Amino acid sequence: MRSDTGDLLQGTLGVMILKALVIGPAHGYAIARWVEQTTDDVLQIEEGSLYPALRRLEDRGWVRSEWGLSENNRRARFYTLTARGRAHLKTEAAVWLRYAGAVTRVLRAAPAIA
Amino acid sequence: MAALRRRGDPRAARRARDRLTPVRDDFGAPRWRRYLRFWGPDVDADVDDELQFHLDMRARELEARGLSSDDARRAAALRFGDAGRIGAELREHDHHRNRYLHRRDMLSDLWQDFRLAARGLQRTPGFAIVVIATLALCIGANSAIFSVVNAVLLRPLPFRDPGALVRVYQTYQGERSAFSGPNFVDLVKSTHTLASAAAFDNETFNVVGNGDPVRVQGALASASFFDVLGAQPAVGRTFNADENDPGKTHVVVLSHALWQQRFGSNRAAIGGSLDLDGTPYTIIGVMPASFDYPRGMSVWMPLVYDTSFTVASRGAVYLSAVARLAPGVSEQQAATEVAIIGKRLHDADLDHNAKMGITAVSMREAMVGNVRKPLVILLGAVVFVLLIACANIANLLLARSSTRHTEIAVRSALGAARGRLLRQLLTESVLLSLAGGALGLLLATWGVRLLVVLQPRGIPRLDTVSIDGAVMAWTALVAVATGIIFGIAPALQLSRGGDELAQSLRAGGRGMLPSMGGRQLRRTLIVSEIALALVLLTCAGLMMRSFVRLQSVDPGFQPDHRLALEIAIPDATYGTNEKVVAFYDDLLGRLAALPGARGVGAISMLPLTDNAWGFSFKVDGRPPVRLGDQQHFETRAVSPDLYRVLGIPVKRGRALLPTDRDGAPPVAVINEAAAHRYFPSEDPIGKRVVLGFRVRDTTHAAGTIVGIVGDVHGFGLDQDAPPEIDFPYAQLPLSNMAIVMRTDASAPALAAAAKRELNAIDPALPMADVRSLSGLVSDSISQPRFYMMLLGLFAAIALLLAAIGVAGMMSFAVAQRTREIGIRIALGANRGGVVRLVLHEAMRLAVIGVVIGGLVAVALSRAMASLLFGVGVRDPATFSVAAIVLAGVAFAATLLPARRAASVDPATALRTD
Chain A positions touching B17 (Cβ under 8 A) are: none
Tens digits of residue pLDDT in B693-724: 777 777 778 899 999 999 999 898 988 999 99
Q: Which amino acid belongs to residue A27?
A: H
Q: How far is CA B246 from CA A40, B237, B312, B319, in A?
A: 112, 20, 15, 18
Mean pLDDT of B681-702: 84
Rounded to 5°, the CA angle B214-B220-B223 comes to 135
**Can you give the pLDDT at residue B883?**
94
**What does the radius of gyration of chain A's CA atoms come to, in whole angstroms?**
16
Tens digits of residue pLDDT in B179-191: 999 999 999 999 9
- For residue B53, give the chain A residue with the closest CA: A76
**pLDDT band, very low/low/confident/very high, at B786 (cuts 50, 70, 90):** very high
Residue A44 has pLDDT above 70, yes or no: yes
Please tell me chain A's helix, strand, coil percentages from 3-state DSSP, rounded to the nearest 5. Answer: 55, 15, 30
* A114 three-class SS: coil
Do the Cβ atoms of B425 and B494 come closer than 8 Å?
A: yes
**Can you give the pLDDT at residue B863?**
87
Can you tell me the distance from the alpha carbon of B756 to that of B765, in angstroms, rounded to the nearest whole number? 11
Inter-chain residue contact B53 with A76, CB threshold 8 Å: yes
- For residue A58, give the chain B residue with the closest CA: B97
Q: Which of B187, B464, B459 is nearest to B322 (CA)?
A: B187
**Can you give the pLDDT at residue B392?**
92
DSSP annotation of B66? T
Inter-chain residue contact B80 with A72, CB threshold 8 Å: no
B533 touches chain A (CB under 8 A): no
Chain B positions touching A59 (Cβ under 8 A) are: 97
**What does the radius of gyration of chain B's CA atoms come to, in whole angstroms?**
40
Inter-chain residue contact A29 with B54, CB threshold 8 Å: yes
- Cis, bond preceding B490 (omega within 30 deg of 0): no
Residue B836 has pLDDT above 70, yes or no: yes
Do the Cβ atoms of B879 and B854 come closer than 8 Å?
A: yes
Residue A6 has pLDDT above 50, yes or no: no
**Can you give the pLDDT at residue B81?**
81
3-state secondary structure B655-709: CCCCCCCECECCEEEEEHHHHHHHCCCCCCCCCEEEEEEEECCCEEEEEEEEEEE
Tens digits of residue pLDDT in B49-90: 899 899 999 998 888 888 888 888 888 888 888 888 888 999
Can you tell me the distance from the alpha carbon of B539 to that of B201, in angstroms, rounded to the nearest whole number? 39
Can you tell me the distance from the alpha carbon of A58 to that of B41, in angstroms, rounded to the nearest whole number? 17
Residue B13 has pLDDT above 70, yes or no: no
A55 touches chain B (CB under 8 A): yes
**pLDDT band, very low/low/confident/very high, at B510 (cuts 50, 70, 90):** low
CB atoms within 10 A of CB A59: 13
**pLDDT band, very low/low/confident/very high, at B6 (cuts 50, 70, 90):** very low
* B399 three-class SS: helix
Tens digits of residue pLDDT in A61-77: 999 999 888 888 888 99
To test the contact with chain B by mutation, choose from A2, A72, A74 the residue with the greatest count of B C-beta atoms within 10 A, namely: A74
CA distance A77 to chain B (A): 6
Can you tell me the distance from the alpha carbon of B432 to that of B396, in angstroms, rounded to the nearest whole number? 13
**pLDDT band, very low/low/confident/very high, at B882 (cuts 50, 70, 90):** very high
A46 touches chain B (CB under 8 A): yes
Mean pLDDT of B490-510: 68
B841 touches chain A (CB under 8 A): no
**Can you give the pLDDT at residue B789?**
92
Is the CA virtual torsion B552, B556, B561, B565 positive or negative?
Answer: negative
CA distance B81 to chain A (A): 6
**pLDDT band, very low/low/confident/very high, at B35 (cuts 50, 70, 90):** low
Strand partners, A73: none
To test the contact with chain B by mutation, choose from A44, A49, A51, A78 the residue with the greatest count of B C-beta atoms within 10 A, namely: A51
Interhelix angle B69-80/B83-123, nearest 10 degrees: 70
To test the contact with chain A by mutation, choose from B23, B50, B97 the residue with the greatest count of A C-beta atoms within 10 A, namely: B50
CA distance B25 to chain A (A): 14
Q: Which residues of B789-819 are buried (b: 16+ CB within 10 A; e: fewer)?
A: bbbbebbebbbbbbbbbbbbbbbbbbbbbbe
Chain A positions touching B50 (Cβ under 8 A) are: 27-28, 51, 76-77
Whether ipTM exceeds 0.95: no
Chain B positions touching A70 (Cβ under 8 A) are: 53
Inter-chain residue contact B53 with A48, CB threshold 8 Å: no
Mean pLDDT of B31-40: 55
**Can you give the pLDDT at residue B19?**
40
**Can you give the pLDDT at residue B39?**
59
Query: DSSP characters for B704-742?
Result: EEEEEE----TT-TTSPPPPEEEEETTTS--SEEEEEEE
**Can you give the pLDDT at residue B628?**
64
Least confident of A93-107, B68-82, B152-166, B370-384: B68-82
Can you tell me the distance from the alpha carbon of B361 to that of B365, in angstroms, rounded to the nearest whole number? 6
> Would the pTM count as exceeding 0.95?
no
State chain B's maximal CA–CA distance in angstroms.
142
Can you tell me the distance from the alpha carbon of B152 to that of B372, in angstroms, rounded to the nearest whole number? 9
**Can you give the pLDDT at residue B817?**
80
**Can you give the pLDDT at residue B107?**
87
**pLDDT band, very low/low/confident/very high, at B621 (cuts 50, 70, 90):** confident
Mean pLDDT of B280-306: 92
Among residues of chain B, what percentage have pLDDT more than 70? 92
Tell me how far the alpha carbon of residue B119 is from its chain's centroid: 40
Q: Looking at the partner chain, which of B54, B82, B89 has a beta carbon nearest the beta carbon of A52? A: B89
Residue B117: left (phi > 0), alpha (psi -120 to 50), or beta? alpha
Give the β-pairing of B165-172 and B320-325: antiparallel
Least confident of B113-117, B192-196, B262-266, B815-819: B815-819
Q: Looking at the partner chain, which of B18, B80, B93 has a beta carbon nearest the beta carbon of A55? A: B93
- How many residue pairs bridge chain A and chain B with CB atoms within 8 Å of each other? 51
Inter-chain residue contact B18 with A67, CB threshold 8 Å: no
Mean pLDDT of B778-788: 91
A52 touches chain B (CB under 8 A): yes
Can you tell me the distance from the alpha carbon of B153 to that of B362, in angstroms, rounded to the nearest whole number? 13
- For residue B84, give the chain A residue with the closest CA: A48
**Can you give the pLDDT at residue B503?**
67
**pLDDT band, very low/low/confident/very high, at B278 (cuts 50, 70, 90):** confident
Chain A positions touching B56 (Cβ under 8 A) are: 74
Q: Which residue has the higher pLDDT, B818 or A6?
A: B818
Tell me how far the alpha carbon of residue B237 is from its chain's centroid: 37
What are the residues whose beta carbons fall under 8 Å from the beta carbon of B792, sequence distance 6 or more?
B540, B543, B544
Mean pLDDT of B13-31: 43
Query: DSSP characters for B414-442?
Result: TT--HHHHHHHHHHHHHHHHHHHHHHHHH
Residue B584 has pLDDT above 90, yes or no: yes
Mean pLDDT of A21-34: 91
**Can you give the pLDDT at residue B498?**
62
Tens digits of residue pLDDT in B444-497: 999 998 888 887 888 888 888 889 999 999 999 999 999 999 998 888 877 776
Query: DSSP characters for A33-76?
Result: HHHHHHTTTS----HHHHHHHHHHHHHTTSEEEEEEE-TTS-EE
Mean pLDDT of B785-810: 92
Inter-chain residue contact A28 with B97, CB threshold 8 Å: no
Residue B30 has pLDDT above 60, yes or no: no
**Can you give the pLDDT at residue B17?**
45
Torsion of CA B140, B129, B491, B889, to 10 degrees: 70
Tens digits of residue pLDDT in B593-615: 988 888 999 999 999 988 888 88
